[in-house]
């Protein structure tokens, strides 16, 4: 099955919602700790507000220092959300007590204070940051699928060369940095992506696959950039027929690219262009693949 046939197989076997690999439905194990820390922050803010009303600034300064220490250990409170709303990173107020005082004064002027800390509210804040955990989830999903097909996960390049079927994560440094892999295998790629770090390197007997994974459900500015990265990757030309580049698109946006019947006219042309660019790149580079979950399973189960 060549790369266009495999793409057609993927289109016939689309992605589904509710992929358990990207679902984080359990309560956070540190929820009680976060609740207690949030209560401490609230109590400090209430005390600071009262002291400032009384012009007891020296005593308030001590509590500002306590507040600075407390926010370091807790990302999940109304106060931290307000810091973000001020276009300031948490690290800034941890390092700069003067900035923390200014932000706190604005908070006390513009927000209501109460002592209640509902557990479901703190958990909701944790849930809102779930997207940051999805990068590693995609890699782990693919590694698990490979392990089910008798591939071995390795951490050293020496093991990678010895094993018949194995997989490793690309790293910024060390054995599996992009530069080391290019040097050891005598290849050059990534020029169109400014040597962007890839996700996985997979060995299947004599063939080696370099994979970049994205997880997407909808179109948009940041998402368009990610699609362009995947397309640029499969445009890379590697002369060795045993080396392959895989652009893996996880999530239901894969379905949208190849089924534009119900797409708004405003974005339809853009998506059709993406589809055409993918097919053109695969036609020119028969060693490369653009696949979804079904295609990944098909490629490595045989």
Q: What percent of the chain has pLDDT over 70?
A: 89
- The reported pLDDT for the residue numbered 28 is 82
Residue listed under structure tokens 């250990």? 73
The rounded distance, in Å, linking the Cα atoms of 302 and 293 is 15
Rounded to two decimals, the pTM is 0.73
Backbone angles phi, psi at 168, to 5 degrees: -145, 155
For residue 9, pLDDT over 70 is answered with yes
Q: Are 263 and 271 in contact (CB under 8 A)?
A: yes
Q: Residues 248-288: pLDDT tens digits?
A: 998 888 998 988 776 677 778 888 899 999 999 999 999 99
Q: How confident is the model at residue 144 (pLDDT cuts 50, 70, 90)?
A: very high
CB within 8 Å of 189: residues ≥ 6 apart: 182, 210, 236, 238, 245
Angle 193-180-238 (CA atoms, 0-180°, nearest 5)? Answer: 50
- The reported pLDDT for the residue numbered 125 is 79
- The reported pLDDT for the residue numbered 150 is 96
Q: Are 149 and 230 in contact (CB under 8 A)?
A: no
Name the residue with higher pLDDT: 218 or 122: 122
For residue 15, pLDDT over 60 is answered with yes
CB-count exposure of residue 91 (10 Å: 0-12, 13-18, 19+) = exposed
- The reported pLDDT for the residue numbered 298 is 96
Q: What percent of the chain has pLDDT over 90?
A: 59
Q: In what order do the strands lie in the sheet with 207-215?
A: 152-153, 165-169, 200-204, 207-215, 243-250, 289-291
Name the residue with higher pLDDT: 49 or 19: 49
Give the mean pLDDT of the chain.
88
Give the three-state DSSP class for 215: strand
- The reported pLDDT for the residue numbered 224 is 77
The rounded distance, in Å, linking the Cα atoms of 274 and 11 is 15
Give the three-state DSSP class for 203: strand
For residue 17, pLDDT over 70 is answered with yes
For residue 194, pLDDT over 80 is answered with no
Report the DSSP pairing between strands 243-250 and 152-153: unpaired
Q: What is the mean pLDDT of residues 64-93?
A: 89
Cα–Cα distance list, 270 to 102, 248, 292 (Å):
45, 20, 20
The rounded distance, in Å, linking the Cα atoms of 106 and 129 is 25
First-residue to last-residue Cα distance in the chain: 11
Q: Are 268 and 260 in contact (CB under 8 A)?
A: yes
The rounded distance, in Å, linking the Cα atoms of 231 and 275 is 10
Please give the distance of CA 234 from its chain centroid, rounded to a whole number.
Answer: 21
Backbone angles phi, psi at 146, to 5 degrees: -70, -40
């Amino acid at each position: 099955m060549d790369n266009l046939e495999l793409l057609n197989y993927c289109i016939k076997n689309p992605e589904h919602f509710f992929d358990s690999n990207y679902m984080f439905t359990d309560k956070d194990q540190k929820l009680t700790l976060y609740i207690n820390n949030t209560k401490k922050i609230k109590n400090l803010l209430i005390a600071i507000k009262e002291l400032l009303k009384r012009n007891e600034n020296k005593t308030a300064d001590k509590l500002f220092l306590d507040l600075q220490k407390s926010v370091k250990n807790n990302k999940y409170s109304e106060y931290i959300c307000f810091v973000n709303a001020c276009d300031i990173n948490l690290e800034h107020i941890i390092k700069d007590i003067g900035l923390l005082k200014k932000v706190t004064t604005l908070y006390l002027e513009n927000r209501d204070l109460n002592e209640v800390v509902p557990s479901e509210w703190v958990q909701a804040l944790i849930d809102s940051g779930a997207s940051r955990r999805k990068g590693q989830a995609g890699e782990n999903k693919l590694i698990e699928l490979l392990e089910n097909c008798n591939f071995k996960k390795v951490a050293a390049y020496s093991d990678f060369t010895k094993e018949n079927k194995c997989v490793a994560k690309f790293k910024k440094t060390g054995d599996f940095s992009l530069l080391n892999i290019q040097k050891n295998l005598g290849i050059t790629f990534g020029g169109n992506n400014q040597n962007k770090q890839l996700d996985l390197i997979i060995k299947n007997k004599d063939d080696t696959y370099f994979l970049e994974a994205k997880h997407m459900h909808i179109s948009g500015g940041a998402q368009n950039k990610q699609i362009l990265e995947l397309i640029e990757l499969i445009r890379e030309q590697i002369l060795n027929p045993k080396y392959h580049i895989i652009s893996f698109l996880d999530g239901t946006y894969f379905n949208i690219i190849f089924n534009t019947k119900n797409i708004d006219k405003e974005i339809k042309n853009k998506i059709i262009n993406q589809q055409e660019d993918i097919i053109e790149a695969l036609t020119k580079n028969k060693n490369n693949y653009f696949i979804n979950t079904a295609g990944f399973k098909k490629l490595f189960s045989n």
